[in-house]
Structure 1
Amino acid sequence: MKRKIVVVIFILAAFVTSASGQKYKVNAQNTALNQVLIGLRDKYNFHLSFNDNALAQYQVSVSGSFDTPEELFGALLKSIPFNYRKRGNVFLILPEEKKPGAPKAFSLSGQVLEAITHEPLPYSNVLINDQGLATDLKGSFRYISSTDSIFHIRISHLGHYILDTICVPGNNYRFILTPSSIGLKEIVVANKVVEKATQIGDAPGVMRLNHQIVQFLPGNDDNSVFNLLRLQPGVLAAGEQSNGLIIWGSYEGNSQVLFDGFTLWGLKNFNDNISAVNPLVVKDVQVLKGGYDARYGERVGGIINIAGKNGSTYKPGLNLALNNVTANGMLEVPLSKKSSILLAFRQTYYNLYNTDDVVYTGTTTAPTGGQGMEPVGGQGQNSINVNIRPDYTFHDANIRFSTRSDGGDLFYVSLLGGEDQFKYTLNQANTQLDISKSTQEDNRQLGGAIYYGKNWNKGNTSSMTIEYSSLDNNVRSDYQNRFGKGRGLASWSNSNTDNQVSQFSFKNTNRFAVSKQHTMETGFGLIADQVKLVNDTTQINLSSQKADLQRLNFYAQDHIALPGNIQLKGGFRFDLPFEQQKLFIQPRISASIPVNQSVKFNAAWGIFNQFISKSTVIDALGNYQYLWFGSDGTDVPVLKATHYVSGWSLHGKSFLASLEGYYKNIEGLTQFRTDPETGVQTHIHGKGRSYGIDLFLKKDFHGHSIWLSYSLGKAEEKFLTTEYQRAPQDQRHELKLAGIIHLKPFYLSANYIYGSGFPLYTDPTDPGSYTEPDYQRTDVSVTYRFSSSKIRGELAFSILNLFNNYNIKYSSFETVPLDDTSTLKINTESVPFSPRLSVRLAL
């Protein structure tokens, strides 16, 4: 036994002697230091961190054998202004520190750019020495430290490879991120990680969307932004509201879509064909569902903040997107190494739908005989359901000039104009009825912004924006009903609604890094809103308004960054309407607290005001219209909402989970109602509330992505009732499933959406007088990528509503009386079974 112990001791001693006797050899003659270190890393499995570009400038000549890694690195760095530090098992190769004579602050400022086009990357995530911050619209940031003179930086942006590097203090750094795809061409960067997941849970109520994946989703190319939005938690998909977005149970008009700083009021966008923003010009999409900070105002719901592309400065580019509905093109022309102009245009080929394509549906319970239309029963009132597929035409254009300076300043002029027309004519007769009805809606939208963003010497930033946007909406409707054998005129009506809204503003923003922990953000603005409304029927003026509203606003908030990437924000927003001479104070607070490297807790609270909004106009038949009104403080009060938001998120290497809850109440709601007996219109005031939870799960694997989104919510309102009743946009459940499978060169994608339905009231004053049809839709697509030396492209085929489920669009139906016992219900049909063939080319 003793002999065995002695043998084991000798074996262990020999092993230790062998291990301790390992030599580290190097033989370098006038070789770049970065190449020497890479060779040693691969040979001896060293863990190294260094600035590759900085060390490439130094040539070293070292030969020999060394007993320890410390001796080896000491010899390599002996004659150059670098040294090493060891943290754990990682060797950091750092520039020599010059000890200051007196304590001072170390600052770092820079700009995050895309590698190919050098487009600034707005709202990128920057982690410096475990403290987080975000870039501004120009991709700029600044960081101050009183202790650290070496900065470990990790920068990520959706759809781009993560940059991990080390820097010394300095200003005007340029950090270049490589996109995971360039136009329609894929690239692969070895040993790099791509930030490709949807960013949910980094801040309370905030989502960042990877717009690069929208081309693989089913649907029309011209509506790809909303195709992605509708699959996210908290954004209503059932009802197919592409432009009047409903977020977290908010009312139509309570949420805002911003493009390059100006408001997109929204076009008709029939059947998900075209969204208000051209997807070819989109660079970044940020969704603020609620509880957002003091920089944002003007709405009590959510905000979709879309940043447009600057345009290529290195070579001309042409992108074309053609499908069986529209043609879309974008041209980028460099004017210099720092300036470019971008042009984009969309146009429908023809009227999308035939006015003669009218479908009559319904379950007949009290047939009257005859051909064509049949009344359907319903509690003493027969109704004839008519589904309309109207004519729809559209075109719009974008123009943008951009230029930037060597210091990162950005100047651009962005212009947008678009218009559409929606109309149908219904002529139908049977043995008893002869109905004639025509409706036409015209929309014209204009917008523009002039922006200048300045990076100051020490990395602080300021910007100013002058913007203008407007929408002119006109709806005309004529109706005649001839009844009986003599075909006498039983009833007739005509109505006209002209609603115009515009906004002009000047806004200033500033961001100053005060210390390592504190960044102050301030801003002010002058806003002028104008609303014009004429709403009449059968030559009777039901409602009208002409409002010119001006106000000043100011905000200030402190962004506190604590160790461990804890983010706190607290601030105020102030609005002073000139007409009301009342100061509206809106405090906001939020916190993001990482529990560990994967789990984060978020919470936010705030008060929000809105000074122009859509109010509900209900006619004598119970038909709803949502029209823009200016808040004068009396007939139409200023909306006031309070948001409570909290949630948890789990971020893994290829998995994301988020659970977020919200509660919002709103005061100052206005309804205009016409009495069915007297025909007199009155206005009433009410309040509402919405609350619920969002669940989001996403998994990335082997180039594929699947995700699930589930929303449980409730939206209620109280006008003439003593208790809350369901609001028109209330929906209890919404489930969304989506996936993208990459089988190179093919992409397969599918999504499914289920909504439990909205309350369709027959009597707005009766909480129980509604039906609740559910919503179901399945979309599928296949995309093929191809490329040659001169052209790259994609060929895509989609089917929308694969199983042709019958769905009703939110707020898109009319009720027309036929006689004392029958009514005509006209529904604008949602997306039917719709094949879509698309070709996308990049030259």
Structure 2
Amino acid sequence: MRQCGLFIFSRIHSGLHLTLGPAGFKVFLVLWPLFFISQNTLAQRVSIKANKEPLSRILNSFHERYGVQSSYDYRLISKHLVSDSATYSSPEIAVQSMLKGSQLDYRLIDSVFVLFAKPLETTIESEEIKQDTVVRKAYYFSGQVTDGISGEPLPYSSIRVGEKGYSTDVNGHYSFKTETESERLEISYLGYYMLDTLLLAGTKRKIELTPSLIGLEEIVVLPDLKLAEAHIGAKPALIKLNHQVASFLPGNNSNTLFNLLRLQPGILAASEQSADYSVWGGYRGHTLLSFDGIPLFSAASHSNEIGIVNPLMIQDVEVLKAGYEPHKGDRVGGVIRMSGKMGNAKRFRAQANVNSQTVSASVNIPFAEKYALQLALRQSYYNIVDWNELFAEEADDNRDFFTPDFNFRDMNLKFSGRMDNGDNFFVSLLANQDKVESMVIRPIRRGNESRENLTDKKGFGIGGNYVRNWHRAGVSEVGFAYSGLNTNAVDKIRENPRNAALKFFEAVRENGIEEFSIYAEHRLPVLGRHGLTAGIKAIRNTASFVADASDATPESRENNGSRFSYYIKDDIKIGEKIGISPGLKWDYLAYTKKAYLSPRIAGYWEPELSWRVNASWGIYSQYISEVAFADDFRNFFYAWQLNGILDNPVLRSEHYTLGLSYRQEGFSVSAEGFYKMTDGLKRTYFIPEDKRHFDAEAISRAYGIDFYIQKKISKHDFWVAYTLSKVEERYPEFRNEYHYAPHNQLHELKTAAVFDFRPFYFSANYVYGSGLRVSQKFGGGETVPYNRLDVALLYRFGMEKLDIEAGASVLNLTNADNVANSNVSNLPSGRAVYLRGVPFTPGLFVKVGI
């Protein structure tokens, strides 16, 4: 097996221990000649007869004629020509002669000649070394980790060098220094087979990993490769997700992100709110969702089954629940970062997916074996069967549900390139439109009442970056992002009693939010005990709000402001088992002339290789937020606003996390506790008695613990996640005591299994929640638990050059009544009508790729 110019082909006798019983003697008879041959191979005479022949050809002839094994990068040595006619007493002397006067060197490792470029060297002197006039050499290692088939960069890959651990950046780049010219690396990435290889300092190296889930015709997976399994516990409050697994989970493949995230610890599933994710008790708008660095102000369409980003474009998903580093996110809650595919620069690709709600397609067009253009389109269509209506509970009049109609479409366009010097860049664009209409009509005494709502959301975003690998000087990155969301909502509420005057209320609201940013970041190579990262960023936000209600004075306002951020962090190794990462973020608001400091620190302790203890603390600020407004009937409308001006305070939060994890091959377990205090929450209420609206500010606290167990048995995966938590809030203006927040839930249990019977795959998952406070209104004052069982069957097969996946899934197999949080329609009579959670919903999908 050849990998990027760093290869070890044989370990014939190292580490072998024999016990000579009858069977052991047979093993000895087989292996002893191999040991003898390997030793005599290096002692035999060899001859060279060459006239300007490539070195690679001569080494191949050595292997065929003398059994001499070698490892090299073909592109590195093919340009080196050899002219010689001589016989040498050993292969090593011959190799020395051929490399004389070149920029190549070699090392003999386990009877294998490993050829490499002579490493670039520098000198580093410490105060203690200066006193003894001793100079240490530093050897530079840099390059990129990519998909071995598509060439896609693998962001945030894990690299272990001895007892030290490193991580690649968002573009798969790595850069570090050591005091030895060769290092053994263990490179892993979720959903890919682990690679254990020897890396030699010098030129930039591309490391290619083999995906565990691949096209049927592409490669035969070797049985001795290891699958990277663990994805929780590598850093404080971090979850790394293999997006490929989402294809095997129940759902219609239009919102694979939600299907995957709802099964993770600490991410609320009981609310069935894919339009916004509540991470460790976070409020609406407190979680930053981004795609290719573009902030997204909505996570999904009104349908839970359609995500805001086309799954055909997603490569990597990273979730930071709390306590994250200073250069990640401008929110007081969690961060969900999606990295898009960089495209295949060598091969044309196309995919199409049809399911019960959407049709989508993507195409990848390569250019000059360096660049790739990707285009993806998606369109929803009329849902033929209304499962809510078909399986509604008619016997219970206390549980009123409504079903909206929706229309969604989106487009993604991305151009990316990889330069000869190892640099890479991309420009990514997305646009979407989501329309939803709902009508609720309920009888009242001698008449009826109704609510009609029409909401139209339009989103647009564009972003890009350029990454420069300076080798010895580290990695630099510059980029930009623009994102905007415009929401128009029309609300009509009527009360039409017989023999009485018609009561009519109408409200038209429009909200717009925009963000433009540019940034520059530099990461120095990790040298010994330190790894420094620093960056600067400029951001400008614009928020507008228009409200025109039939019983109130029209309101219109627009605010904009710029801010500047600087951040720095250092990854410090203390010995071989302890590390800390202090960091600082400084934000300056130009529109208020105020500055905010956000210190943060994280650390870990690895008492043993399989055990890890993580902890973090930090201060976090948020300068835009979604504020809840209530109409006369307490129906809420959420609008994005700029913080720090007028009566909108800057959100500030303090995070504490502490976690313990254990990982072995095929098994991992973790426990992680958290405590978050957030100040500056704002909500607008309506008091019917006084017929007026008022603003209220609140303080919230969320605390709890996550448990997670994952086990792989043969080819099958199983995991269990459990969260015990509380979310409480306090309004100082009313009463100085805490009470439960609307999205508080004490218990949430999630179990999942994926069975691999290739070419068939079966999966099932079950989620139980002890119930949200909103469920009390239709539960007779008691909290109604949430429970949902989903199952799916997938069949993967090939047909000539096509990869085909056909699947069926059933959501909510038991047809349990669940309520989607915050989607409530309040009518003039005081009656509340709820958006029902996903009912019994069968679905089919077919996905075809070339």
* TM-score, length basis structure 1: 0.86
Shift of residue 735, structure 1, vs aligned partner? 0.4
Look up the equivalent residue of 2:586 and give its one-letter code.
F
Look up the equivalent residue of 1:727 and give its one-letter code.
A
Look up the equivalent residue of 2:158 and give its one-letter code.
N
2:226 aligned with 1:214, yes or no? no
| Cα separation, 2, equivalents of 1:732 and 1:566 | 34
Match of 1:792 in 2: 803
Shift of residue 756, structure 1, vs aligned partner? 0.8
Pick closer, same or farther for the CA change 1:154–1:539 going to 2, 3 Å.
same
- Larger mean Cα displacement after TM superposition, 257-266 or 168-177: 168-177
Pick closer, same or farther for the CA change 1:355–1:713 going to 2, 3 Å.
closer
Within a 5 Å distance, the mapping from 1:123-522 to structure 2 comes to 123-145=156-178, 147-183=179-215, 187-190=219-222, 192-266=224-298, 269-350=301-382, 357=389, 385-427=399-441, 429=443, 432-458=446-472, 460-484=474-498, 486=499, 488-489=500-501, 491-513=503-525, 515-522=527-534
RMSD: 3.6
| Cα separation, 1, equivalents of 2:713 and 2:386 | 44
After superposition, what is the alpha-carbon deviation per residue over 1:1-48, rounded to whole angstroms, capped at 9, x for unaligned? xxxxxxxxxx9xxx9xx9999982356878987999999999xxxxx9
Match of 2:618 in 1: 606
After superposition, what is the alpha-carbon deviation per residue over 1:739-762, rounded to whole angstroms, capped at 9, x for unaligned? 000112100000000011111288
Match of 1:733 in 2: 747
Residues 523, 555 of structure 1: 8 Å contact kept: yes
| Cα separation, 2, equivalents of 1:450 and 1:82 | 40
Shift of residue 536, structure 1, vs aligned partner? 4.1
Match of 1:618 in 2: 630
Shift of residue 541, structure 1, vs aligned partner? 4.1
| Cα separation, 2, equivalents of 1:253 and 1:829 | 22
Match of 1:757 in 2: 771
| Cα separation, 1, equivalents of 2:218 and 2:764 | 22
After superposition, what is the alpha-carbon deviation per residue over 1:55-98, rounded to whole angstroms, capped at 9, x for unaligned? 99999x9x9xxxxxxx999999898865557xxxx888766999
Within a 5 Å distance, the mapping from 1:73-112 to structure 2 comes to 82=106, 84=108, 103-112=136-145
| Cα separation, 2, equivalents of 1:578 and 1:56 | 56
Shift of residue 507, structure 1, vs aligned partner? 1.3
Look up the equivalent residue of 2:352 and give its one-letter code.
L
| Cα separation, 2, equivalents of 1:466 and 1:576 | 19
Q: Gaps (5+ residues) in structure 2?
A: 1-20, 48-56, 99-104, 124-134
- Larger mean Cα displacement after TM superposition, 596-605 or 171-180: 171-180
Shift of residue 389, structure 1, vs aligned partner? 1.2
Query: Which residue among 644, 668, 675 is the counterpart of 2:680?
Result: 668
Residues 486, 512 of structure 2: 8 Å contact kept: yes
SS of 2:827's equivalent in the other structure is strand
Residues 159, 194 of structure 1: 8 Å contact kept: no
| Cα separation, 2, equivalents of 1:191 and 1:762 | 53
| Cα separation, 2, equivalents of 1:356 and 1:567 | 52
Residues 608, 641 of structure 1: 8 Å contact kept: yes
SS of 1:215's equivalent in the other structure is helix
Pick closer, same or farther for the CA change 1:649–1:75 going to 2, 3 Å.
farther
SS of 1:24's equivalent in the other structure is helix
Residues 351, 393 of structure 1: 8 Å contact kept: no
After superposition, what is the alpha-carbon deviation per residue over 1:679-722, rounded to whole angstroms, capped at 9, x for unaligned? 22121211000001111101112111010000111000001222
Pick closer, same or farther for the CA change 1:827–1:542 going to 2, 3 Å.
farther
| Cα separation, 1, equivalents of 2:769 and 2:122 | 64
Match of 1:551 in 2: 563
SS of 1:197's equivalent in the other structure is coil
Pick closer, same or farther for the CA change 1:191–1:807 going to 2, 3 Å.
closer
SS of 1:802's equivalent in the other structure is coil
After superposition, what is the alpha-carbon deviation per residue over 1:193-216, rounded to whole angstroms, capped at 9, x for unaligned? 343425100000111101111111
Residues 535, 544 of structure 1: 8 Å contact kept: yes
| Cα separation, 1, equivalents of 2:407 and 2:482 | 25
Residues 268, 422 of structure 1: 8 Å contact kept: no
| Cα separation, 1, equivalents of 2:369 and 2:217 | 23
2:695 aligned with 1:695, yes or no? no
Residues 303, 406 of structure 2: 8 Å contact kept: no
Shift of residue 270, structure 1, vs aligned partner? 3.4
Look up the equivalent residue of 2:831 and give its one-letter code.
L
Query: Which residue among 812, 837, 840 is the counterpart of 2:823?
Result: 812
| Cα separation, 2, equivalents of 1:308 and 1:801 | 30
SS of 1:272's equivalent in the other structure is coil
After superposition, what is the alpha-carbon deviation per residue over 1:729-783, rounded to whole angstroms, capped at 9, x for unaligned? 11111000000001121000000000111112889xxxx9964221110000101
Look up the equivalent residue of 1:421 and give its one-letter code.
K
Shift of residue 303, structure 1, vs aligned partner? 0.5
| Cα separation, 1, equivalents of 2:144 and 2:776 | 57
| Cα separation, 1, equivalents of 2:292 and 2:719 | 29
Residues 498, 535 of structure 1: 8 Å contact kept: yes
Match of 2:150 in 1: 117
After superposition, what is the alpha-carbon deviation per residue over 1:456-495, rounded to whole angstroms, capped at 9, x for unaligned? 25251111111110111122111222224x2x23532112
- Larger mean Cα displacement after TM superposition, 131-140 or 453-462: 453-462
Query: Which residue among 658, 668, 684 is the counterpart of 2:670?
Result: 658
After superposition, what is the alpha-carbon deviation per residue over 1:421-441, rounded to whole angstroms, capped at 9, x for unaligned? 111223455772223431111
Shift of residue 535, structure 1, vs aligned partner? 3.3
Pick closer, same or farther for the CA change 1:72–1:665 going to 2, 3 Å.
farther
Match of 2:101 in 1: none
Look up the equivalent residue of 1:590 and give its one-letter code.
A
Look up the equivalent residue of 2:601 and give its one-letter code.
I
Shift of residue 517, structure 1, vs aligned partner? 1.9
Match of 2:794 in 1: 783
Pick closer, same or farther for the CA change 1:100–1:270 going to 2, 3 Å.
closer
Q: Gaps (5+ residues) in structure 1?
A: 1-10, 43-47, 64-70, 365-373, 377-384
SS of 1:635's equivalent in the other structure is coil
Pick closer, same or farther for the CA change 1:685–1:264 going to 2, 3 Å.
same
Pick closer, same or farther for the CA change 1:466–1:310 going to 2, 3 Å.
same
Look up the equivalent residue of 1:157 and give its one-letter code.
Y
Residues 670, 683 of structure 1: 8 Å contact kept: yes
Pick closer, same or farther for the CA change 1:647–1:498 going to 2, 3 Å.
same
Shift of residue 269, structure 1, vs aligned partner? 2.6
Look up the equivalent residue of 2:167 and give its one-letter code.
A
Residues 350, 361 of structure 2: 8 Å contact kept: yes
Pick closer, same or farther for the CA change 1:41–1:270 going to 2, 3 Å.
farther
Query: Which residue among 785, 794, 813 is the counterpart of 1:774?
Result: 785
Look up the equivalent residue of 1:130 and give its one-letter code.
E
| Cα separation, 1, equivalents of 2:181 and 2:629 | 62
Shift of residue 632, structure 1, vs aligned partner? 2.6
Residues 362, 376 of structure 2: 8 Å contact kept: yes
Match of 1:721 in 2: 735
* TM-score, length basis structure 2: 0.85
Residues 472, 498 of structure 1: 8 Å contact kept: yes
Look up the equivalent residue of 2:792 and give its one-letter code.
S
